[in-house]
Amino acid sequence: MPPQKNLSNRADGMLPGSGMREELARRQGLQAYASLARVTGSGNPINDEKATQAIFQIKLNNIGADDKIIALHAGSLLTVDEIATLIGVTVDAIAKTGVVIVSNVTCTTKANTSLEHFQRYLNLNPTRIIRIKVESNEEDQLSESLVLAKYSPVMKLGSQEVIPSNAKRQSDLQTKLVLLDLPNHQLDDQTVFYTNLLAGRTLTLTLFLGAAINTASNLEQMANAIK
C-alpha cells in the first residue's frame, strides 16, 4: 500500500481550519488586492475611487492659426507614424512639457513632474481616470472629442470618445468648464489619448486618478500578505 500523504503539512501562514483550496483562493485574492493602490502608492484600501486626492493637470496652448491633433498619452508608441499605423489616426504631435510644435503648441503641467515622466509612469502602472475637468478659453473647444484608443501590436482594440459639451447641463453657469465622470477610462502602455486643439485655444485637463496597478509600491505589503 503506498504511503499516505501527510495532509497536516500545511503551508506557512495558512489560516487555522482552512483547506488548501480555500487557502489558495485567499492568497490569490490578497495578491490581487495588494497590487491595487491609489496612484499615490499609499497602499490604503480603496473604498471609493471618487474620494481620491490624486490629480494631474495638463494645459495645452495653441497660438497658431491651424487646428492641431495632439496625443496627450501615446502608450508605448514613440512616434506619430507609429500612432498612424496602429491607431489609424494622424496626430500632429505627442505632447510633452514645453514646446510641442514650434511656433504653435506649448504644454505645461501643474505638478512637480513633467508630462513625459507622467506618461512613463502610466506605461508601467496602468491607472484609471475616473473624472476629467475640462476647461478652455473658448466654449467651442469643449465640442472637440477626447478620444481613448486601445491597441495591441497586431490589431486595434477599439476606442472610446467623449465630447465634453455633451455633459453640460442647462443650469451650468460656467460655459467654458465641464466636469466629466468617466465609468471606464484607463491609461496604460496600450492606450493613446488624443484630442483636436483648435487654433487660438487653450485646453486645460485636470485628470482625477483612481486605482492603479502599482506593484512596486505594494511589494512589501504583498509579501506580508502571503506569509
- 67 burial via Cβ count (<10 Å: 0-12, 13-18, 19+): middle
Same domain, 34 and 132: no
Distance, first Cα to last Cα, the chain:
35
Same domain, 71 and 34: no
Same domain, 143 and 175: yes
Which residues have a Cβ under 8 Å from the Cβ of 177 and sit 6 or more positions away?
133, 134, 135
Say if 136 falls within a structural domain: yes
Same domain, 30 and 63: no
58-116 tens-digit pLDDT: 999 999 999 999 999 999 999 999 999 999 999 999 999 999 999 999 999 997 889 99
Tell me the DSSP string of 68-110.
EEEEEE-TT--SHHHHHHHH----SEE--SEEEETTTEEEEES
Same domain, 101 and 182: yes
CB neighbourhood size of 137 (10 A): 12
Nearest to 123 by CA among 190, 219, 177, 221: 190
Say if 14 falls within a structural domain: no
Across the range 142-147, mean pLDDT stands at 97
Rounded Cα–Cα distance for residues 39 and 46 (Å): 11
pTM metric for this prediction: 0.78
- 64 burial via Cβ count (<10 Å: 0-12, 13-18, 19+): middle
CB 186 within 8 A of CB 127: yes
Say if 6 falls within a structural domain: no
Same domain, 97 and 66: yes
Same domain, 58 and 42: no
CB 174 within 8 A of CB 31: no
CB neighbourhood size of 147 (10 A): 19
CB 87 within 8 A of CB 147: no
Say if 196 falls within a structural domain: yes
Same domain, 90 and 160: yes
Same domain, 121 and 64: yes
Same domain, 138 and 61: yes
* Segment among 57-61, 89-93, 158-162, 189-193 with least mean pLDDT: 158-162
Same domain, 87 and 196: yes
Sign of CA dihedral 126, 42, 32, 161: negative
Rounded Cα–Cα distance for residues 119 and 95 (Å): 10
15-68 tens-digit pLDDT: 445 566 665 555 554 444 444 444 444 445 455 666 667 899 999 999 999 999
Rounded Cα–Cα distance for residues 222 and 227 (Å): 9
Instruction: Give the count of domains, the chain.
Output: 2
pLDDT of residue 17: 53
Rounded Cα–Cα distance for residues 155 and 150 (Å): 9
Range(s) of the domain holding residue 30? 20-46+216-225
Say if 12 falls within a structural domain: no
